[in-house]
Structure 1
Amino acid sequence: MTESTHRAGHVAVLGRPNVGKSTLINALVGTKVSIVSPRPQTTRHRMLGIATFPEGQLVLVDTPGIHADKGKATASAMHRMMNRAARGALEGVDAAMLVIRAGQWSDEDTLAYDALKGAGIPTVLVVNQVDRYPDKAVLLPFLQSASEGREFASVHPVSALKRSGLQPLVKTVLGLLPEQDALYGEDEITDKSQRFLAGELVREQLMRQLGAELPYATTVEIERFEEEMVKRKGAPPEPMYRIGAVIFVERESQKAIVIGKGGTRLREIGTKARQQMERMFGCRVFLETWVRVREGWSDDEAALKAFGYTE
């Protein structure tokens, strides 16, 4: 790739749940576009993160983590939809990154690799969280075993959280893309609306603050998203977003848990989500939150579509 060559294209970011795909995309874009939490399957939607560099543009397709369905009795409609969305993300892309966790290769990593191999697109293996191994020599046998017998354009150890090892990764992936002008404007970072991002930021706090199982029974719908100009004494008018978010759960008992004693947990979720929105949108936010029950929504195809879940 010469200095004057400009490359751009779509790059699928695939892997099993909770290996750091969204953290990697946020690091490459340079700002937060995908929510993150310690919980697996935090990402439920396919979305784009747009990373623009002088030499090219990576249109990164963030996908739900591929996980093994354990039969119809346990695989909910949402899980099946998330798997289809992850595999569907391979259509029309120019290259892919398979993200795994350093020191671990599981059956679900093999599942993701097989999906990529079947798609026939050049794939880079990204070994994330190498910062957990201060002695890099310890990693070498794992890097060799992970790539042995598998077709990768290259292997890149990185730490997405600490943003290390990203420059060589960008250079390699850009080299796999077609020569063409940027597909998006330099100031664009995602294909999703602010309304969508607001809902995701509320859901992020649900994933972070609730117990191990309850977050998976919750979803968020933004019922109100309005911009207004407000004036404070001695200052010119400035924009403020007035947002109304409904948190849906599947049972009354779950509603009580989300609200918390005296409404304390719901207020905490709302406060932290609002702070994240203000950082992301660059203006004041007035956020209201409610909790409602919709039984069995996560295993109802019609309900999933109504809540904006697509393949």
Structure 2
Amino acid sequence: MAQRWIATDFGGLDVFEQVDDEVPAPGTGEATIEVRAAGMNPADFKHVARGDDRSLLPVPVGYEVSGVISALGPDTQIASGAGAVGDAVLAFRVAGGYASALTVAAKDVFAKPENLSFAEAANLLLVGTTAAEMLHVCGVSRGDTILVHGASGSVGVSVLQQAKLIGARVIGTASESNFETVATFGGEPVSYGDGLEARVRLAAPDGVVAALDCVGTDEAVDVSLALVSDRQRIVSIAAFSRAKDDGFRIIAGAMPASTAFRDEARARIIHMAAAGDLVVPMARTFPLADATTALDFLRGQHPGGKLALIPEH
């Protein structure tokens, strides 16, 4: 019997409920994972808050986990090859990661890099693949100067690290209290707020060739449009309505093109992390039973790093 979290309805955190459930034995092409850490992302509560298709209820919560293989289906290998009971792994994209154990498609399971803790591994792939896609759709290459809005957030920090590996220069917006974070991961911080466009122009007098928006504010969109002439080199993960009106790029995990790219990018992101080139800053962990407390903390917008839920075993 496993513990897992579901959303019994659409709405706020009051619809989240922890339940006991049997974990199905893995069939061919499946693996059962004893979860050591469940990664947490804003999407975990946003899709519940915005949902309206009641046929999907109850909604399993959580997209990524790390743990240990407890069972492997017949004639089955994990995505990184081989795999055996007792192996440490991470998995993304899964349904119902807020759990003490779950059975998932083996194609979504990868060997965990030894240099990552379970909590770090459980938070690697959603933000890592999102950041990789943002850089990809904007065609960022060596020598480019780019603007990243929300550079101190989880996706922004991954963008900073991956852009550094590419050889691009990053001007990153943040609050002054987070300037050190931006600088630590290779960006050049500028404060958001009134006068942002002028501050970016001062920092990059030859201009920026692309803008990557991780926050979705009107300020971020307006400044991006003012600074980047090619709207195909402006991308947002949050400003959906503005993208439709103003003709720039939008990406999201549920979009088929995004799904395909991020699935393909998983192995590369894991390789970066295993090599020590991509780190996952952690803020804190919570017991699995305290998921709603942790989600409330996550909703505060500035957790200071990634969060993970830790089941009791």
| Global fold match (TM > 0.5) | no
For this structure pair, what is the TM-score category when the shorter chain's length is used for normalisation? Answer: under 0.3
